[in-house]
Structure 1
Amino acid sequence: MIFAGVFVVAMILLLVFNYRHGDTRSCRWRECRGAGESSWTCVHCGATTTGPRGETPVICLRPKS
């Protein structure tokens, strides 16, 4: 019985602390490196942006449809 309670509490903690702000759960960013900045493309929704090397975008940039 204790194991079931610990399991439920662990799952709730995972849900609370694993939430990522900015709605990027579906985004899969791929980096195309260039001189200075990188070009980022989301393979899920097709959004593109530029930014520093190695730092993926933190918000979803998908076009509103």
Structure 2
Amino acid sequence: MIVALGLIVAFVLLLLFSRPALRKCRWRETRGADESLWRCAYCGAETKGARGVPPAVCLRDTR
């Protein structure tokens, strides 16, 4: 019974903390003077943003 309860809790936590919008994104940073250029190694999407803070959403459909 405890094993079944543990599996249910693990499944619920997995659903809560998984981010399907970023599942395949692998952001690489090219630092500039004031901001960084972020490029996704998976889909090739590019965006500018703050240094050290990768994008929070996948941008592959906005190319």
TM range (shorter): 0.7 to 0.9
2:27 pairs with one of 17, 26, 29? 29
Query: Deviating runs (4+, > 4 A) in structure 1?
Result: none
Alpha carbon RMSD of aligned pairs, Å?
2.1
What is the CA distance between 1:44 and its match in structure 2?
A: 0.2
Higher helix residue share: 2
TM-score, with length taken from structure 1 = 0.79
Contiguous gaps of at least 5 residues in structure 2: none
TM-score, with length taken from structure 2 = 0.81
In structure 1, give the amino acid aligned to 2:55. P
1:50 pairs with one of 20, 35, 48? 48
Contiguous gaps of at least 5 residues in structure 1: none
